Amino acid sequence: MSAHRDQPPEVDPVTGYDTTGHDWNGIKELNTPFPRIVIWALVITFVYSVIAWVLLPAFPWGRDYTRGLLGLDQRELAVEQFRKMDAVRQDWLPRFADADYAALAGDEALMAQAMPAAARLFQDNCAACHGATGDGGPGFPVLSDGYWLWGGDPETIAETLRYGINATHPDTRIAEMPSFNWMSREERAAMASHVAGMLDGRSDPDSAAGVSFVENCAACHGEAGEGGLDIGAPSLIDEAVIYGQDRASVMRTLFDGRAGVMPAWEGRLSEAEIGLLALYVSGLSRADAEDAQ
Amino acid sequence: MLKLHYNLEKVSMGLVVAIIVAASIGGIVEIAPLFRIDETVQLPEDLRPNTPLELAGREIFIREGCYACHSQMVRSLGDELDRYGPYSLAAESAYDHPMLWGSKRTGPDLARLGEKYSDDWHVAHLIDPRAVVPASIMPAYPWLMRPLDTGLLRDGLATLARLGVPYDEAQIAAAPADALAQSRPDSTEAEGFIERWGEEIALRDFDGDPARLTEMDALVAYLQSLGRLTDAPYRLMAAEEGAQ
């Protein structure tokens, strides 16, 4: 083949292209030139990359990097973009940082503007546990039924949001149903039946379990199980128990105890967002009550 | 130019050299910056590595393929900052081998998930996602309540230590015991855990079953640690917002 190197390439008469000089029993191979469009595309991308390299941040360089003539910084851009989005809310959102909820709720124009945002905030942060409509979940409180363990006015809800319950915040609310596994199984079974029966008034307060209830449970749940002490202990006569009040569930609660966690949102949500959500959540139960009427 | 290439093709050794030169340019451009990674990525002072229990959870996270649907990187885009919080920093995953940034989100990003929801929620959600989020398409992982195998943890920490993660010898030696201790705040081993790992780290029964150390304990401990190994992103974000 080296013989071909010095000769001029043979030209194919039909296409006008050179041949490679390879010859297989008289069949010769065309040396079709590389398509122009591909070469131009390559050239354009090369040129573009050089321009981009000059204009944009491109390559690490020692302790720094080539910053580019435009001086763009993705972090600054993101923060700027975020502030622009945030600016749209600035004419109404900061008002929710002050705690005069009655005045805020009375301002209908403000509420019309704010509640759609509140609903989205609720979906992003609260709905995972409390359900998309605030109807709760297995082991997670219902927010739409008007029954509250800590009080349902916006001020109290805002405080629960801020500090959480059994959360990692230093000012967290603390509520624990202790374990009664020191009781004998029979005592616990009798107590479970007693507590399950309180719902429909089948329980006898003068029974052994009834006496034991006053001794062990009344301090938090109230003497007749009426709750309402706003210390995180539910009423036992209002179907307010998060974990179920059938006999088996109560047995489990008595044995293991309960200490559900509401995370603290201070830091993750701004004070204004917490105020907004507090109003929204307090409104969930009111909306439900209106539906019922 | 094309003529030069045409002639080069006919000299095989010349072509080999030219290919090596062209390929190494691409290689050097990608690899050279990594030689200076220690200078370009500055580790925040408060950055901590994962505890043995969290590390076991990370292995389960990888084993179950969670990364296929969940990224762990808040991108530097305005709407991501609005939804998830400060954008992710390279330093945050400096101790991750391999990193789990991900690029595809079928589920939400998890980089700022730690302590957002309660342990109970994570347990309920992993066992049956539909029980708490009716519209969820996430698969259920009910088998996570089986006992956690801590047998490989010591080797796992030792391997990471060789890769530059600052685990000391005491932490490596006590890894299996500390995995158990982190889920038992009232046990005698908990004191040793606090001594080796500090007081700031979540020390509690994660899976709601204090009697057993399960894979659920490990995975929930890991999920609750996401985005909480350093406060640097929050500090930086506050500084940038203040500067504008």
Note the pLDDT tens digit of each residue in A105-158: 888 888 998 999 999 999 999 999 999 999 888 889 999 988 888 888 899 999
Q: Closest partner residue to B244 among A74, A79, A139, by Cβ?
A: A79
Note the pLDDT tens digit of each residue in A37-88: 999 999 999 999 999 999 999 887 777 788 889 988 888 899 999 999 889 8
Name every residue whose Cβ is closer than 8 Å to that of residue A42 and which is 6 or more positions away in sequence. Answer: none
DSSP state of A269: B
In percent, how much of chain A has pLDDT > 90? 48
Tell me whether B30 touches chain A (CB under 8 Å). no
Distance (Å, rounded) from C-alpha A132 to C-alpha A121? 11
Residues of A in Cβ contact (< 8 Å) with B126: none
Q: Is the dihedral of CA B2, B6, B7, B12 positive or negative?
A: positive
Distance (Å, rounded) from C-alpha B29 to C-alpha B26? 5
Whether residue A183 is predicted with pLDDT greater than 80 in this model: the reply is yes
Residues of A in Cβ contact (< 8 Å) with B39: 62-63
The pTM of this model reads 0.86
Q: How confident is the model at residue A159 (pLDDT cuts 50, 70, 90)?
A: very high
Architecture of domain A96-292: Orthogonal Bundle (1.10)
Taking an 8 Å cut-off on Cβ atoms, the answer to whether A63 and B40 are in contact is: yes
Taking an 8 Å cut-off on Cβ atoms, the answer to whether B133 and A128 are in contact is: yes
A:B CB pairs within 8 Å:
95
Tokens of A43: 């050239």
Report the residue of chain A nearest B79, measured CA to CA.
Answer: A82
- For chain B, list the domains and their CATH numbers: 53-243 (1.10.760.10)
Report the residue of chain A nearest B136, measured CA to CA.
Answer: A128
Alpha carbons within 13 angstroms on the beta-carbon side of residue B77 total: 6
Question: Which residues are bridge partners to A19 per DSSP?
Answer: A30
Report the residue of chain B nearest A166, measured CA to CA.
Answer: B118
Residue type, B35: F
Q: Closest partner residue to B82 among A74, A82, A263, by Cβ?
A: A82
Q: How far is B84 from chain A (nearest CA, A)?
A: 9
Tell me whether B85 touches chain A (CB under 8 Å). yes
The answer on whether A169 is annotated among ligand-binding residues is: no
CB B207 within 8 A of CB B214: yes
Q: Closest partner residue to B132 among A62, A74, A129, by Cβ?
A: A129
Distance (Å, rounded) from C-alpha A245 to C-alpha A221? 14
The DSSP bridge pattern shows strands A19-24 and A27-30 to be antiparallel
> What per-residue confidence (pLDDT) applies to A289?
58
Note the pLDDT tens digit of each residue in B65-93: 999 999 999 999 999 998 899 999 999 99
Taking an 8 Å cut-off on Cβ atoms, the answer to whether A76 and B240 are in contact is: yes
> What per-residue confidence (pLDDT) applies to A3?
46
Least confident of A189-193, A202-206, A272-276, B147-151: A202-206
The DSSP bridge pattern shows strands A60-61 and A19-24 to be unpaired
Per-domain boundaries in chain A: 36-65, 96-292
> A23 phi and psi, to 5 degrees?
-140, 115
Alpha carbons within 13 angstroms on the beta-carbon side of residue A19 total: 15
